[in-house]
Amino acid sequence: MKVIILAAGIGSRLGVPLPKALIPIQDDKTILHHQIDGLLHYLSIKDIFVVVGYKKNLIIDAFPDLSFIDNPRFSQTNTSKSLLIAINKLIGNEILWLNGDVYFDHNVIERIIHYNGNCMAVNRAIVGLEEVKYKTNKQGYVVEISKEVEHPEGESLGIHKISSNETNLLKKCLSNCHDQDYFEKGLELSIQNGMQVKPIDISDLTCIEIDFVEDLAILNDLLNNR
């Protein structure tokens, strides 16, 4: 299995002058540091690849043992194209990918990698207006995933896994996305073309995507109260 961490974006909504992956939280470790710590419970560091763009040297210098994939068009593209660049490099592998601004309990990764098939981490307990949402069919597989889903069943948390034999389909569908599409558009197109994706409920575990200052405050309060 190969891991792709999407950390090329500017993160303008947080208003910080560095990549979101390098934002320190209450213990002064960065989000990316926590992600790597969590992943290394189950995977080797040689299998972790970080897609970089905005101020990429800050990330590369901070994590010299990681492998990096450059998105030179980071300022004109969104996560669909960052993931496509990485998929092109790692085609044919089982792939776990995640956004570079997600703080998670490492047990989230355990649940994802232990599921035998395509899957994604979800929280059924809350559904934020600005978050990516999902809906399933009667068989329990995802049929819609976007910010515009009506009557959603929960939030998608930006941590996904696909089998090695599905990477070509995902690559094709990401190629059909517009530059500013999120990778969820490519995943939804893949689902429409036959990919089956199972939502893995991790509502009982800590998993927070840091999009706004308020998200960071919630995470810090949570960690301080442990």
CB 143 within 8 A of CB 191: yes
Residue in the structure block whose two tokens are 């893949």: 190
Domain that holds residue 171: 2-224
| DSSP H stretches of helix in the chain | 31-39, 56-62, 79-90, 106-114, 167-175, 183-192, 213-224
**pTM for the structure as a whole:** 0.95
106-155 confidence digits (pLDDT tens): 999 999 999 999 999 999 987 877 789 999 999 999 999 999 999 999 99
83-113 confidence digits (pLDDT tens): 999 999 999 999 999 999 999 999 999 999 9
CA 213, 17, 57, 167 dihedral sign is positive
**Between β-strands 198-201 and 207-209, what pairing exists: parallel, antiparallel or unpaired?**
unpaired
CATH number for the domain spanning 215: value is 3.90.550.10
Domain total of the chain: 1
Nearest to 31 by CA among 40, 42, 19: 19
